[in-house]
Amino acid sequence: MNERDAVTALSALAQEHRLRIFRLLVKEGPYGVPAGAIAEHVGISPTSTSFHLKELDHAGLVTATREGRFVRYAVRVEGMRRLLTYLTEDCCRGAPELCGAPVTAVRSVCK
């Protein structure tokens, strides 16, 4: 990931509804959640949800799959992994194992 892609991803996450959506999708895993259920969970309108999902998709953080009339969104694990790697690759002067359990836990979940 380059700096420009990282800024795009971080900008997408720097909004409360998008951050809530992203965290929900991370929690739910690769199967994802229908757009209507995302709107209900976050407490915003379907139109606003679509806007926020589009921003997360543009940033490479989510993916959409059409199921008949519905669209199911899921975290794009590779996009999340690339962002986390970019943010932590130089951790502790190139010794990321010194950063502690959170980095290790994230890496093991994303494999």
- Which domain does 51 fall in, by range? 3-110
Which of 21, 1, 25 has its CA nearest to residue 13?
A: 21
At 70, which CATH number? 1.10.10.10
Residue 104 pLDDT level (bands cut at 50, 70, 90): very low
Q: Which two tokens stand for residue 101?
A: 């359990």
Long-range interactions of 36-39: CB distance < 8 A, separation 24+: 36/70, 38/73
pLDDT in tens, 56-88: 999 999 999 998 999 999 999 999 999 998 988
Choice among 13-27, 28-42, 92-106 with the minimum mean pLDDT? 92-106
Tally of domains within the chain:
1
Q: Quick one: the chain helix, strand, coil %, rounded to 5?
A: 70, 15, 15
Query: pTM value?
Result: 0.82
pLDDT of residue 102: 54
Which of 62, 69, 68, 3 has its CA nearest to residue 31?
A: 62
Q: Cα separation of 101 and 98, whole Å?
A: 9
**Cβ contact 31:50 at 8 Å:** no
Residue 45 pLDDT level (bands cut at 50, 70, 90): very high
Run of H or E including 18 = helix 16-28
